[in-house]
């Protein structure tokens, strides 16, 4: 069974540009999450989808971040325009519909804004 | 005060040692407690989770939760060089709230 896959694995963009990160959850997992770790800090929750609906987006830092999950399969996280403080690693995770304790993470998308 | 505190280490032990990793937390609503292992430049890998207070064992790994003290531990027996990684504690309150709150992680090195 394939795990959570993320693309791109690394991205370097200039301040003011746009970046779109993609996540493919484990097949059949209704729950999809985005997390972020910036330098020196702990991994922090951004938002949670249940199928195509946003269940909790309390961790989204500001309106420069837009997450979508059309059709309840893969998800994208767009940062527009990117700022220097957006640099970090963005993790996607997924879990079965009834499970909030077996959450599986992808390898992360490493974003550097210069 | 952070919701979850975890000593970042680094922690260095000889092969075969028993390793103790721990976290404290402040939110009494937390019910599920997870341990993740993260190798360098990789994503967090779920090791085990525990519900409420008590112990759970999986091979060389034992997780303990003491809700009265708001203290959780992960013990690794007979540690191996392949156990060298960052260990992250995470927790949530369950129900419909699946949001994980993480500690900063403890960097462990097991020396051959």
Q: How confident is the model at residue A99 (pLDDT cuts 50, 70, 90)?
A: confident
Residue A1: its pLDDT value, please? 67
| pLDDT, mean of residues A68-92 | 96
pLDDT (tens digit per residue) in B58-95 = 999 999 999 999 999 999 999 999 999 999 999 999 88
Please spell the DSSP secondary structure of B29-74, one letter per residue. Answer: T--EEEEEEE-TTS--EEEEEEESSEEEEETTEEEEEETTTTEEEE
Q: Is B103 in contact with A107 (Cβ distance < 8 A)?
A: no
Whether the predicted pLDDT of A61 surpasses 90: yes
3-class SS of residue B82: helix
3-class SS of residue A56: strand
A96 CB-contact burial (10 Å; exposed 0-12 / middle 13-18 / buried 19+)? middle
With CA atoms as reference, report the closest residue to A3 among A110, A77, A92. A92
CA distance A45 to chain B (A): 7
Window from A42-51, A53-62, B89-98 with minimum mean pLDDT: B89-98
Residue B53: its pLDDT value, please? 85
Whether the predicted pLDDT of B38 surpasses 70: yes
- Collect all residues from A whose CB is shorter than 8 A from any CB in B: 4, 31, 33, 35, 41-45, 48, 55-56, 58-59, 91, 95, 100-108
pLDDT (tens digit per residue) in A4-22 = 999 999 999 999 999 999 9
Alpha helices in A37-113 (DSSP H): none
Rounded Cα distance, B32 and B101, in Å:
11
Whether the predicted pLDDT of A98 surpasses 90: no
Percent of chain B beyond pLDDT 90?
A: 87
Which residues of chain B neighbour A48 with C-beta distances below 8 Å?
A: 98-99
Q: Is A101 in contact with B103 (Cβ distance < 8 A)?
A: no
Whether the predicted pLDDT of A26 surpasses 80: yes
First to last CA, chain B: 37
Rounded Cα distance, B85 and B76, in Å:
12
Percent of chain A beyond pLDDT 70?
A: 99
**Residue A10, both tokens:** 């690394």
Q: Is A48 in contact with B96 (Cβ distance < 8 A)?
A: no
Whether the predicted pLDDT of B1 surpasses 80: no
Which residues of chain A neighbour B39 with C-beta distances below 8 Å?
A: none
Rounded Cα distance, B19 and B80, in Å:
10
Which residues of chain B neighbour A108 with C-beta distances below 8 Å?
A: 42-43
| Torsion from C-alpha of B74, A56, A98, A94, nearest 10 degrees | -70
CA distances from A91 to A8, A52, B60 (A): 11, 18, 28
Residue to test with chain B: of A5, A21, A39, A43, most B Cβ within 10 A: A43
Q: Which residue among A35, A100, A104 places its CB closest to the CB of B92?
A: A100
Q: Is B46 in contact with A103 (Cβ distance < 8 A)?
A: yes
């Amino acid at each position: 069974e394939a795990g959570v896959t993320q693309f791109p694995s690394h991205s370097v963009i200039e301040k003011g540009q746009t970046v779109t990160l993609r996540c493919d959850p484990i097949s059949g997992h209704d729950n999809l999450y985005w997390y972020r770790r910036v330098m020196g800090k702990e991994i922090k929750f951004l938002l949670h989808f249940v199928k195509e609906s946003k269940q909790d987006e309390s961790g989204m830092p500001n309106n420069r971040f837009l997450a979508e999950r059309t059709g309840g399969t893969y998800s994208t996280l767009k940062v527009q325009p990117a700022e220097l403080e957006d640099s970090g690693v963005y993790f996607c995770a997924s879990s079965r519909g009834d499970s909030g304790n077996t959450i599986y993470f992808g390898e992360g998308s490493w974003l550097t804004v210069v | 005060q952070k919701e979850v505190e975890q000593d970042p280490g680094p922690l260095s032990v000889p092969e075969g040692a028993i390793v103790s990793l721990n976290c404290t937390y402040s939110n009494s609503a937390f019910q599920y407690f997870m341990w993740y292992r993260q190798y360098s430049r990789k994503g967090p890998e779920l090791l085990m989770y525990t519900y409420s207070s008590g112990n759970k064992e999986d091979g060389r790994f034992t997780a303990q939760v003491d809700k009265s003290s708001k203290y959780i531990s992960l013990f690794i027996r007979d540690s191996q060089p392949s156990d060298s990684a960052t260990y992250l504690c995470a927790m949530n309150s369950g129900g419909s709230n699946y949001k994980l709150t993480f500690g900063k992680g403890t960097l462990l090195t097991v020396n051959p």
